[in-house]
Amino acid sequence: MPTLDAAFSALADPTRRAILARLALGETTVMELARPFEMTQPAVSRHLKVLEGAGLIARRIEGTKRPCRLAPGALASIDKWLAMLRKALAANYDRLDGVLAALPPKKQPVKRKDKR
């Protein structure tokens, strides 16, 4: 699953995560991206190249500019991990409902001090 690995390592960098957060607001040029990050354009371009390689952003050509935007389904790989966790936990807790229902009821009548 090369894309997934690339996506995870691309996202490991805080600057790249910030760039993605900015792109979530809409399409942007490299120049506009460089400004808030106090980085040179070549430095931003290097990050963009990593993000593009990981399939997280898409770029198009418009004259001399190459505006970039979030790729459709860009964050799907992280979502996939969270979805897997959610499913495993949901299955667990549904079973736990059954386990709890089968526990012998020992409620109000039994008042014990079990502070240890």
Q: Does 24 bind other proteins (CB under 8 A)?
A: no
> What is the nearest approach in angstroms of other proteins to the Cβ of residue 95?
4
5 versus 62: smaller Cβ distance to other proteins: 5
Compare residues 61 and 100 and give the one whose CB is closer to other proteins.
100
How crowded is the C-beta side of 41, counted as CA atoms within 13 Å? 7
- Does 116 contact other proteins by CB under 8 A? yes
**Residue 106 to residue 83: CA distance in whole angstroms:** 36
Half-sphere exposure of 59 (CA within 13 A, CB side): 17
Candidate list 28, 64, 101, 109; residue touching other proteins; CB under 8 A: 101
Which one of residues 42, 63, 72, 99 is an interface residue with other proteins (CB under 8 A)?
Answer: 99
Residue with tokens 């936990």: 89
Give me the residue label for tokens 């495993």: 88
